[in-house]
Amino acid sequence: SISRLLYLLQQEASSTELRTECAVVLGSLAMGTENNVKSLLDCHIIPALLQGLLLPDLKFIEACLRCLRTIFISPVTPEDLLYTDATVISHLMALLSRSRYTQEYICQIFSHCCKGPDHQTILFNHGAVQNIAHLLVSTSYKVRMQALKCFSVLAFENPQVSMTLVNVSVDGELLPQIFVKMLQRDKPIEMQLTSAKCLTSMCRAGAIRTDDSCIVLKTLPCLVRMCSKERLLEERVEGAETLAYLIETDVELQRIASITDHLIVMLADYFKYPSSVSAITDIKRLDHDLKHAHELRQAAFKLYASLGANDEDIRKKIIETENMMDRIVNGLSESSIKVRLAAVRCLHSLSRSVQQLRTSFQDHAVWKPLMKVLQNAPNEILVVASSTLCNLLLEFSPSKEPILESGAIELLCSLTQSENLALRVNGIWALMNMAFQAEQKIKSDILRGLSTEQLFQLLSDSDVNVLMKTLGLLRNLLSTRPHIDHIMSTHGKQIMQAVTLILEGEHNIEVKEQTLCILANIADGTTAKELIMTNDDILQKIKYYMSHSNAKLQLAAMFCISNLIWNEEEGSQERQDKLRDMGIVDILHKLSQSSDPNLCDK
């Protein structure tokens, strides 16, 4: 029957009335199950309907568009089908002027089929902004609403679109002002939410300042209102997620949000679904609650993560909210990957607080579920979880000991071998934190776990961040004399090779400075010193950096020298003689005339 309808729809011999009726019937079929839509797609209904849009008859065009709209809003329809032929988008733009129905359906098709930056760019380049802007003041509510939805998806995470929207005006009024009018309390909720999303995207893109009154006095309070108990569960989810995005990087907005309408307490309610069911009549509601329960938790975790990103007092308030730490710990083991990710993000945000690491994190043994999350998780979770672990391994964190006992070194060493750059950085960073002021056994375990090959791999990594953290790790490993001597007695040859490699390579000042500091630490060892004194190549390099054009490198090189020549240490006389013969004293004389007071003193 579908193929027969499509045949009649495409027959030029059929009357326009018949063809229109066919489009209407196909549209009704498309409103059925997902299998209906699949059958229609298999019969190539989309090209047939798009072809129909080329006919002059308006009623027929509207019927085709209505059917296309129904098919494109189905989750089984691939969005790319709209973009296979470049002329389709321009034709749809031209049809926007035909009637309020073409406006409503075409905007709805665009907002459903605009997924990601490529689609945004295509629509933008075809003049979507100019063609849709005037629809925001249409007399039809449905047209205004669909046009607004178009702008919310076009502007999302898209600076180019956002920067354009700021300067567009309709009937002498700029778009941001129109959006602000649309988020007033007397407007329907979906309109308030969608215009708040538009303003949020424009603010995040830098098109509107974060201290602009339309953000502080209009958008932010509107989104907080959406989080209240009066709203539907889906509205509360969208409100919280949008607010989390709006305030994510701005500490002032985080502070304002945290004291608006008791938001922090209000969010605790997001964890109370599904609520207990009293009567059988509530089964429908239970089903609805269950469907939204994990979305609510995900949204609350995201918003707590944004709220607590910078401010110590806000973090304290969040953690003091009823059972908050237990909720995060439970979130870490939920079946839904999205909830797990949001819970880890929330934990990461709170783990930036020294105070909380020492108290709540300790009381709830947060490291246990965190270590569990780190076993075979997908990369996006691993990146945030390993960042959190970096914080839990800082020297003042009481979780450091138990984490070590639970196999963290192996886990982190394996992260340093990851293809994913963020994971390599976090793995080596966490090891660097772990090695800081650690006992000798831990340091030896780290070196054993990493292996010399892997250490060289990391020191030749193309990313400067990985390189700096690896040097930081070496510097932390080579601190306190007995440790320096012990490590250099087992790994001295390789470490000296590594130092040579970097001082000879094309590296920036920070990298070279860090490397010279490692040398200065080695020079501080009792027996380790000899590895420098017997290596003429390294001594020449130290001499070279003493006369370098950069003062930081000159200072670092002089630290090496001063650690080699302490009078009260054994063999200091011979070392001084050797350095004197190399011409080091002459360089020191020259430097004592330097205009830089630090160099001069040293």
Residue 280, pLDDT score: 54
Core vs surface per residue 294-303: b (16+ CB within 10 A) or e: bbbbbbbbbb
> Which helix (H) or strand (E) element contains residue 174?
strand 173-174
Comparing C-alpha atoms, which of 430, 336, 351 is closest to residue 381?
336
261: left (phi over 0), alpha (psi -120 to 50) or beta: left
Question: What pLDDT is recorded for position 277?
Answer: 57
Dihedral pair phi/psi, residue 274, rounded to 5°: -70, 140
Lookup: tokens for 551: 């003062």
User: For residue 228, what are the CA distances in angstroms to 307, 378, 417?
Assistant: 17, 33, 46
Query: Which residue matches tokens 């019927």?
Result: 63
DSSP state of 412: H
- Burial class from Cβ neighbours inside 10 Å (0-12, 13-18, 19+) for residue 42 reads exposed
CB-side exposure of 363: number of CA atoms within 13 Å? 10
Residue-wise pLDDT for 452-494, tens only, equals 889 889 988 989 999 999 999 999 999 888 999 999 998 999 8
pLDDT value at 200 more than 90:
yes
Q: What would the pLDDT profile of 98-132 be if each residue is shown by its tens digit? A: 999 999 999 999 999 999 999 999 999 999 999 99
Question: What DSSP line would sit under 461-519, residue for residue?
Answer: -S-HHHHHHHHHHHHHHT-SHHHHHHHHHHHHHHHHHHHHHHHHS---HHHHHHHHHHH
pLDDT tens sequence across 384-407: 999 998 888 886 667 777 888 888
SS3 170: strand
Mean pLDDT across the stretch 260-270?
Answer: 94
- How much is the pTM? 0.85
* CA dist., res. 438 & res. 379, Å (int): 29
543: amino acid identity, one letter: K
Structure confidence at residue 237 (pLDDT): 96
Q: Domains of the chain, with CATH numbers?
A: 478-601 (1.25.10.10)
425, 461 Cβ separation under 8 angstroms: no
- pLDDT band at residue 368 under the 50/70/90 scheme: confident
Distance CA 483, CA 409 (A): 19
**Measured between alpha carbons, how far apart are the two ends of the chain, in Å?**
92
- Coil, strand or helix: which one is 232? coil
| pLDDT (0 to 100) of residue 7 | 84
Judge whether residue 248 has pLDDT over 60.
yes
More confident residue, 166 or 287: 166
Q: Are 561 and 584 in contact (CB under 8 A)?
A: yes
54: three-class secondary structure by DSSP: coil
- pLDDT tens digits, 65-92: 999 999 999 999 999 999 998 899 999 9
> Under a CB-based contact definition with an 8 Å cutoff, are residues 23 and 9 in contact?
yes
Q: How far apart are CA 175 and CA 166, in angstroms?
A: 6
Q: What is the mean pLDDT of the chain?
A: 91
Query: What letter does residue 215 receive in the DSSP assignment?
Result: I
pLDDT tier at 279, thresholds 50, 70, 90? low
- Quickly count: other Cβ atoms within 10 Å of residue 142's Cβ: 15
Cα–Cα distance, 187 to 225 (Å, whole number) = 13
Which DSSP category does 569 fall into?
S
Using CA atoms, how far apart are residues 443 and 436, in angstroms rounded to an integer?
9
Rounded mean pLDDT of 294-301? 95
In this structure, the dihedral spanned by the alpha carbons of residues 427, 431, 467 and 495, taken in order and rounded to 10 degrees, is -140
Residue 278's pLDDT band, with cuts at 50, 70 and 90, is low
Structural tokens at position 15: 């009357």
The CA distance from 134 to 523, in Å, is: 73
pLDDT in tens, 309-327: 999 999 999 999 988 999 9
| Rounded alpha-carbon distances, angstroms, from residue 149 to 104, 256, 357 | 11, 27, 42
On whether the CB atoms of residues 187 and 145 are closer than 8 A, the answer is no
HEC per residue, 307-328:
HCCCCHHHHHHHHCCCCHHHHH
Predicted pLDDT of residue 276: 63
What's the token pair of residue 483? 């440790």
Beta bridge partners of 169: 174
pLDDT in tens, 497-552: 999 989 998 899 999 999 999 999 999 999 999 999 999 999 999 999 999 999 99
- Residue 229's CB is within 10 A of a number of other CB atoms, namely 8
**What pLDDT shows up at residue 401?**
79
Pairing between β-strand 169-170 and β-strand 173-174 as defined by DSSP bridges: antiparallel
Q: What is the pLDDT of residues 402-450, one digit of tens each?
A: 888 888 899 999 999 999 999 999 999 999 999 998 888 889 999 999 9
353 band by pLDDT with thresholds 50, 70 and 90: confident
Calpha distance 133→468 (Å, rounded): 49
Asked if residues 464 and 503 have their Cβ atoms less than 8 Å apart, the reply is no
Whether pLDDT at 592 is above 90: no
Alpha helices in 320-463 (DSSP H): 324-331, 337-350, 354-358, 360-363, 367-373, 379-392, 400-405, 408-415, 421-435, 440-450, 452-459
DSSP class of 159: H
- The SS3 call for residue 210 is coil
Specify the pLDDT at position 302.
97
* Residue 493, phi then psi, degrees to nearest 5: -60, -50
